Every structure is written in structure tokens, then in C-alpha cells.
């Protein structure tokens, strides 16, 4: 199998010293950014919150004129933008603890809730802890395919995989519900690995949160518009759908485009800080775009920076991205990025390709950087 990240002398090999050095450079970058946090970051977050609340109020208000088709469309657009900002640039980032340093009781990761059916505490467990600690490690990071999809060649194929593009499409449309169910680890429940009492607790939380969300979007707000009940209901459903499609697309671009690497438990056992950083870089992918695009994606378009420093305010990622990229270049590491069209295209291509039996698909050259871990060559992703 050929390795994508090749130098003229063959595949890229990183020595323990290089790894250590790179780790130090990233630690310094982190310290520099943390030391600089202050008013500017606070003002930025509040300006996003203000915009989000403004769009929300506008969206809910315009639904009262929802009998006029262009106004209905505007209402849906405003509400969609509000939900996207709430989930991505505010919710995701606040719940990562990115703004805990502000000591703002309402914007602390411990208490923040977002406008989606998944309860914050469950999401923080499956995302902040499992996904961010064990990024792209098979059997540990449950985000590799979300236990529904085959997103990596090393995952086994069976005949049910043929329906994968359909499942992916369904997941995209129902994304918030998928995110909600993620922490249940349904396959572990079925295989008996998970206690019923755990699941019951989670289900109760989901019922409470989803209930509130559904009550508000699908009953109370529509009812408040009286005769326009169904028009408002349709508007709210559409806004949730738009948010789902958008969030799914951005998030799938974070780890599934061509070129990202996955890892095994053995090769990542007892990682050093430097090795951990490198895994985060090799396992993530960015999306290039305008400032507005980055804001609307919650800066998850800077997935690489986000995975290196998940608790640094996301609005800082565009500023530190050039330095991260320069470090990648210095060590010959790939820095996986591209415009949305290219990244999302390669994600869907992968979904379709991996739906087919491996015998039918030509195995492509895999990306790989040989990381000398504990003085042993571990051929990551090769």
C-alpha cells in the first residue's frame, strides 16, 4: 500500500525528538493565546449572542405574517440562522469550556444548554470526553461512523452497509435526534455491555430536554400564531431541518474527508503530549471559506485547531491557524483543508464507496505519517 504523505526519501517519519519539539511549540502557542484572552473575546461572544437572539426574535415574530410566502421564507431563514448560531458558535464552544475563564455564570460549560434536543450533559460526555480524548481511535472514538456508518476501510463490511448512503441522508435530516441518541450507545445496550439503569437515566434526560424543545417549536409557538398554526409549525420544522443539514455537513467535514487518518488502541497507548497533538492534527480536516462562513460553522471549519485546543475560544482559531499550518509545513505533516464543496464531496464519496464490498472497491493509497512512538515505528493508518 502506498502512503500519501511521502517525501523524496520515502514515507514521512517523525522522530521522538521532533514530536516533542512540535508538542512544545503547540504548548507555547496555546499559552500565548490563553494569556491574551480578555475583553475582545467577551465582546465577540456577546455580539454573536446578540445577533442570535435578534434573529430568533425576528424569526418568531415574522411567523405572524407567515401567510405571505416571502415573509414565511424570511422567518424560516432568520430562525435557521438563530439555531445554527446557537448550536455552533455559541453552544458547542461554550460547552467545551472555551469561555469558562470569563466566570460568567450563564456561559459556563457546567450549566449551559443549547437549542437542540440533546441534553448538554450527555453531549459533553460523548463529545468533549470520548471524541476529543480518543479522537479517531477505533473502538474508542464512537464518532467514527457514529455506529451507523462505515467511515473507514478498517471497519468491517456486511450487506447492510449497502444502504449506507440512505442512512447517512436520514442522519443528516434528523441530525439533532442522532446527536441525542449518540450517548446511549445503543449497540452496547443490545450486546448487554451497558446497564439498563444507565440507559434509563439517559432516556429520562432526553425525554425532558426533547420534550421542552418539541413543546416550544411544535406546539406553543405555532399555537401563539393562532390561525397560522400550521404555517408556523411548518416554518419551525423547516428551520430545525436547515440547522440539521448544515450542522451535519460541517461536522462530517471535520473528520471524514479523504486524507484523515485513524488509529488503533495499541499504537496510541501511553501517548505523550506531542503524540496526542499529532493524532489530533492527522485526524482532523478544515474547511476554507470566508469570515461569515467560519462564524456560521462555529469555527468548526478550523477543526484541526479545535482539536489541538478544544478549550480555546473558537473565534481565535482563524488567528492561530497560520501558525499551526506553518508548523505542519515545517515537519512535513499534511494540513487537510479545502473549500466546503470539495470536503463535503469527498465525505459523500467516502460514504458511497465504503457502502460497497471491499472486493469491488480499489483500495486507495492511504494517508500516513510514521510516528516513532516510544522509539518504535508505528505505521499509523498505513
34 binding another protein? (CB under 8 A): yes
Least distance to another protein, CB of residue 309, Å? 9
Least distance to another protein, CB of residue 235, Å? 15
Nearer to another protein, 110 or 204 (CB): 110
Name residues contacting another protein, limited to 105-124 (CB under 8 A).
Answer: 105-106, 108-110, 113-115, 124
| Cell output for 177 | 435526534
Do residues 261 and 3 make contact, with C-beta atoms less than 8 angstroms apart?
no
SS3 readout for 29-76: HHHHHHHHCCHHHHHHHHHHHHHHHHHHHHHHHHHHHCCCHHHHHHHH
8 binding another protein? (CB under 8 A): no
3-state secondary structure of 182: helix
Name residues contacting another protein, limited to 82-101 (CB under 8 A).
Answer: 96-97, 100-101
Least distance to another protein, CB of residue 313, Å? 10
23 binding another protein? (CB under 8 A): no
Nearer to another protein, 125 or 342 (CB): 125
Least distance to another protein, CB of residue 288, Å? 25
Among 16, 64, 65, 132, binds another protein (CB under 8 A): 132
Least distance to another protein, CB of residue 15, Å? 24
Least distance to another protein, CB of residue 64, Å? 14
265 binding another protein? (CB under 8 A): no
Closest among 267, 276, 279, 283 to 374, alpha carbons compared: 267
For 107, counting Cβ atoms within 10 Å of its Cβ (0-12 exposed, 13-18 middle, 19+ buried), the class is buried
Among 310, 338, 368, 381, binds another protein (CB under 8 A): 310
323 binding another protein? (CB under 8 A): no
Measure the CA–CA gap between 24 and 362, rounded to whole angstroms: 40
Which residues does residue 186 pair with via DSSP β-bridges, in sequence order? none
Among 11, 125, 264, 289, binds another protein (CB under 8 A): 125
Nearer to another protein, 30 or 325 (CB): 30
In which element (H, E) is residue 154 found?
Answer: none
38 binding another protein? (CB under 8 A): yes
Query: Is the Cα torsion angle 148, 134, 259, 173 positive or negative in sign?
Result: positive
Q: Where are the beta strands (DSSP E) in the chain?
A: 6-7, 10-11, 13-14, 370-373, 376-379
32 binding another protein? (CB under 8 A): no
3-state secondary structure of 282: helix
Residue 198 contacts by C-beta under 8 Å, 6 or more apart in sequence? none
Among 103, 193, 375, 376, binds another protein (CB under 8 A): 103
Do residues 167 and 210 make contact, with C-beta atoms less than 8 angstroms apart?
no
Least distance to another protein, CB of residue 321, Å? 19
Residues in the chain, how many?
382
Name residues contacting another protein, limited to 219-238 (CB under 8 A).
Answer: 220-221
Least distance to another protein, CB of residue 86, Å? 8
129 binding another protein? (CB under 8 A): yes
For 238, counting Cβ atoms within 10 Å of its Cβ (0-12 exposed, 13-18 middle, 19+ buried), the class is middle
Based on its alpha-carbon atoms, the radius of gyration of the chain, rounded to whole angstroms, reads 22
Least distance to another protein, CB of residue 328, Å? 21
Q: Summarize as ranges the residues that interact with another protein (CB under 8 A).
A: 31, 34, 37-42, 49-50, 53, 57, 96-97, 100-106, 108-110, 113-115, 124-125, 128-130, 132-133, 209, 212-213, 215-216, 220-221, 276, 310-311
Amino acid at each position: 500500500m502506498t502512503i500519501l504523505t511521502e517525501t523524496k526519501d520515502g514515507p514521512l517519519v517523525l522522530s521522538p525528538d521532533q514530536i516533542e519539539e512540535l508538542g512544545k511549540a503547540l504548548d507555547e502557542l496555546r499559552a500565548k493565546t490563553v494569556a491574551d484572552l480578555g475583553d475582545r473575546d467577551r465582546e465577540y461572544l456577546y455580539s454573536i449572542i446578540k445577533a442570535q437572539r435578534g434573529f430568533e426574535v425576528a424569526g418568531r415574530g415574522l411567523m405572524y405574517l407567515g401567510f405571505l410566502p416571502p415573509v414565511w421564507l424570511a422567518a424560516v431563514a432568520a430562525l435557521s440562522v438563530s439555531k445554527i448560531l446557537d448550536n455552533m458558535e455559541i453552544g458547542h464552544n461554550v460547552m467545551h469550556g472555551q469561555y469558562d475563564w470569563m466566570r460568567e455564570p450563564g456561559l459556563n460549560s457546567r450549566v449551559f444548554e443549547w437549542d437542540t434536543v440533546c441534553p448538554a450533559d450527555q453531549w459533553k460526555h460523548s463529545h468533549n470526553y470520548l471524541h476529543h480524548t480518543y479522537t479517531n481511535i477505533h473502538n474508542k472514538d464512537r464518532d467514527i461512523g457514529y455506529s451507523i456508518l462505515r467511515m473507514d476501510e478498517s471497519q468491517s463490511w456486511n450487506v447492510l452497509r449497502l444502504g449506507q448512503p440512505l442512512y447517512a441522508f436520514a442522519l443528516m435530516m434528523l441530525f439533532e435526534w442522532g446527536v441525542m441518541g449518540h450517548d446511549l450507545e445503543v449497540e452496547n445496550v443490545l450486546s448487554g455491555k451497558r446497564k439498563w439503569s444507565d440507559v434509563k437515566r439517559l432516556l429520562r434526560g432526553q425525554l425532558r430536554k426533547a420534550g421542552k424543545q418539541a413543546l416550544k417549536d411544535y406546539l406553543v409557538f405555532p399555537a401563539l400564531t393562532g390561525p397560522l398554526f400550521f404555517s408556523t409549525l411548518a416554518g419551525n420544522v423547516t428551520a430545525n431541518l436547515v440547522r440539521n443539514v448544515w450542522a451535519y455537513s460541517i461536522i462530517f467535514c471535520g473528520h471524514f474527508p479523504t486524507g484523515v487518518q485513524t488509529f488503533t488502541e495499541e499504537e496510541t497507548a501511553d501517548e505523550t503530549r506531542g503524540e496526542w497533538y499529532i493524532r489530533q492534527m492527522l485526524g482532523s480536516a478544515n474547511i476554507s471559506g470566508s469570515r461569515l462562513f467560519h462564524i456560521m460553522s462555529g469555527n468548526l471549519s478550523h477543526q484541526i485547531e479545535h482539536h489541538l485546543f478544544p478549550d480555546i475560544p473558537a473565534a481565535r482559531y482563524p488567528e492561530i491557524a497560520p501558525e499551526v499550518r506553518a508548523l505542519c509545513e515545517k515537519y512535513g505533516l499534511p494540513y487537510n483543508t479545502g473549500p466546503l464543496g470539495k470536503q463535503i464531496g469527498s465525505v459523500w464519496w467516502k460514504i458511497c464507496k465504503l457502502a460497497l464490498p471491499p472486493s469491488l472497491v480499489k483500495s486507495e493509497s492511504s494517508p500516513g505519517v510514521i510516528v516513532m512512538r516510544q522509539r518504535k515505528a508505528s505505521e499509523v493508518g498505513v
